[in-house]
Structure 1
Amino acid sequence: MRTIAIDMDGVLADVYRQFIDMHFRETGERLNPEQLKGLTEKEAFPYLYTHVNSEGFFKNAPLIPGAKKALENLSAKYRLFIVSAATEFPLSLTEKQAWLNLHFPFISWKQMVFCGSKEIIQTDIMIDDHFKNLDTFSGESYLFTQPHNALTSPGKHKRVHSWAEVENILLHHSYLTKTE
């Protein structure tokens, strides 16, 4: 069975919506994702490190539309691993596990990988929103569109804009039937 490493923040958890909501509560300014295109997360959200180090930030992040259904469907054909560079933010470790348990009860603790660098990950496929994780990956890579990467060419990675698109590629693509 082929394996997939799936990033959490920006791919499963809608941290952009979380940042935008927190920014509004703190400043009264409502940011539009369109105006954030091309900006790094740090440029877009001046209080980024305050937010990600706040209790509840990761535990309360909203789910990206279609993620739960897609992972349920993908888990029938692939071995899934949620891979998150979580050790940079120590508070996030237990919150991320609680969040995954809540939203993806079919993902076991054995399929949750919390790390610093993802360069050691050796699955067949990786889905992530950051080039720093995909560029060191030797398998098939998919860049999940988020404002910070929206204006950048995906290069050697395939760009995906939604979980419906991921499902269409990975569940209905011709190579799936060739390798089963």
Structure 2
Amino acid sequence: MDEVIADTYGAMLDWLVDRHGARWSAEALHGRQIFDVLELEVADALRTAMHDGAFFADLPVIEGSQAALAAIAEHCELFVTSAAMEFPNSLGPKFLWLRRHFPFVDPLNIVFCGDKSIIAADCLIDDNARHFARFGGQGIVFSSPHNVDVTGYPRIRRWDEALAVLSEVFPAALAHSGVDAP
């Protein structure tokens, strides 16, 4: 969910600017988690805000994700997962956020977990390759500033190219689904 359909990274940067006036260049964030560039006290303040849970209630939607997931959901079984246990108070706000922005996702197909290896699926689109280590299907990286150096997996840079990437990874499955790749 985070950094795939919800712009958590951008929300963290906005939070930091609003409260600490902190700004970073794209070069400073290239290939790094945001907590890697913060002073300890600022990182602790951001983590505290995120642990409150309300931080996740109004995240921006990543452009194109709604249309792409709606198209995929028409032809494939779609689950939305979040390793939300890092911030357990985020479960309620994240669930409500998903219902508001992705009403076509069956509520029974929303999975909050800690370790995504429990997901039995053909593919997992995620911004963090650590979730692919024990995942049984195909990991697909969704681009974010912190993962620009990750290699070894197919990559989706923007949602408007998702169907093309998925049709390359799963040509037979999508060929029979009726999904037309751009």
Range into which the TM-score falls when normalised by the shorter chain: 0.7 to 0.9
State the match for 2:70 in structure 1. 72
Q: Which structure ranks higher in relative contact order (CA pairs < 8 Å, sequence separation ≥ 6)?
A: 1
The Cα of 1:83 is off from its aligned counterpart by 0.8
Q: Structure 1 length normalisation: TM-score?
A: 0.86
* Higher helix proportion: 2
TM-score by length of 2: 0.85
The percent of aligned pairs where both chains have the same amino acid is 36
The amino acid that maps onto 1:22 is W
Alignment of 1:25-174 (within 5 A): 25-45=18-38, 46=43, 47-152=45-150, 154-155=151-152, 157-170=153-166, 174=171
Distance in 1 between residues matched to 2:26 and 2:107, nearest whole Å? 33
Contact 1:13 1:61 in 2 (8 A): yes
Q: Deviations over 1:88-112 (max 9, x none)?
A: 2121010110000000011121110
Q: How far did residue 178 of structure 1 move?
A: 5.4
Any stretches of 5+ residues in structure 1 without a counterpart?
1-7
Structure 1: which amino acid aligns with 2:56? Answer: F
CA contact (8 A) 1:93 1:114 kept: yes
- What is the distance in 2 between the residues matched to 1:113 and 1:133? 14
> Are the aligned partners of 2:31 and 2:146 in contact in 1 as well (CA < 8 Å)?
yes
Give the number of the structure whose residues are more often strand, by fraction. 1
Letter paired with 1:76: E
CA-based RMSD of the aligned residues comes to 2.0
Relative to structure 1, the CA distance from residue 99 to residue 170 in structure 2 (aligned partners, 3 Å threshold; closer, same or farther) is same
Match status 1:22 vs 2:15: yes
- Kindly provide the amino acid, as one letter, of the partner of residue 99 in structure 1: W
In the alignment, structure 2 segments of 5+ residues that lack a partner are: none
1:177 match:
175
